[in-house]
Structure 1
């Protein structure tokens, strides 16, 4: 299996997940307003899920013979996600999470396609599971925002 390109794209996803994780922690810590309680709990759920995904992605990179990125400067220089600072309003945080999840799904689709090319069913399955979970969360946040949800 030629997994060099797959490892590069998995490291891209790993970096993106780290930025998503830290942004979501920041939203959890800094959320304000009437929806504090519901969003504070939801954001904790999301960053806990992200931490599990980070570990699974890194272990998958190791399993297929790569080395996962593991320094914050690597994540910052590699990630395609924007770092969010001092965001505390409910709609701004939910909109940012929705946008980040969309970017993660885009990268997971890249990884999934490469996994198919490399005949790596395990990585493909991992991406399918991540995409399914994140698309559901995106639908929920879009509904929360009151936006029309289309397939």
Structure 2
């Protein structure tokens, strides 16, 4: 694996300082416990799963930024269109200044209205519909 400067990581170079490791372990354990409780609540029927009426591919996870989600989504959209599908992206629109939701990104939609990533997705994959809505189901 390489860093942003192109040089390979050295062993131990990307590790947290020794003093921070116990704190990170506690945070990780708390998150794992919460995720386990949430899963158990779904399994027991205490929380209801919502099903979309279409096939869904979720891109992303806990990573906040810089992991390649947007470029991968652009690639995925291009491949789906090439295969004859009509894909759509539903995104939260991080960085947008509010406004009516859901918002279908169209020619002339600004980054202030939709967020910069939805506008980029629309420009790079015009065959796909890009929708901004905090409620993505």
TM-score, normalised by the number of residues in structure 2: 0.26
Larger relative contact order (Cα-Cα within 8 Å, sequence gap ≥ 6): 1
TM-score, normalised by the number of residues in structure 1: 0.24
Greater share of helix residues, 1 or 2? 1
